[in-house]
Amino acid sequence: MLSQEPIEWPDLIETIIDRLESESAERDLTREERALMDVYETVPVLESEDCLHEFWQSGVDHQRVITSFDLIGATTLVDPLNASRWCATRTPDRIDYSATEEEYLSTIEEELPEGMDELVDLMLEFIEEEELA
């Protein structure tokens, strides 16, 4: 991703994620719990060099992940995710993009830092509202 510092999750979020990871082996997570996991697991992909391209080339349930970002209130990340859907139909290697495709994707990715900056606060608010702590 652009020169964004990696997100440092607060201890509360790390603790909840650890608990949900262990509980997911024993039970189905609620939609709200799954949303936390989806967002937490997707952030490293969005922070990677191939960013949105890597997200669309991964084997995750893309629509569920986008819905998870929306559910926690991260609408500034939902728009770039939706705008980059076309990456799912491209070759696995981002280097094969045309100059126009690369320029368009780079423009979309410029929207990500703003959304990433507010993600920790949104996650904490969501945890409090949904009483997941």
121: which residues sit within 8 A by CB, 6+ positions away?
Answer: none
**Token reading at 74:** 């991260």
Residue 4 has pLDDT above 80, yes or no: no
Q: How confident is the model over 13-63, as pLDDT tens digits?
A: 999 999 999 999 999 999 999 999 999 999 999 999 999 999 999 999 999
Domain range list for the chain: 11-129
* pTM for this model (two decimals): 0.93
> 3-state class of 119 per DSSP?
helix
At 133, the pLDDT band (50, 70, 90 cuts) reads confident
Q: How confident is the model over 65-85, as pLDDT tens digits?
A: 999 999 999 999 999 999 999
Q: Are 4 and 48 in contact (CB under 8 A)?
A: no
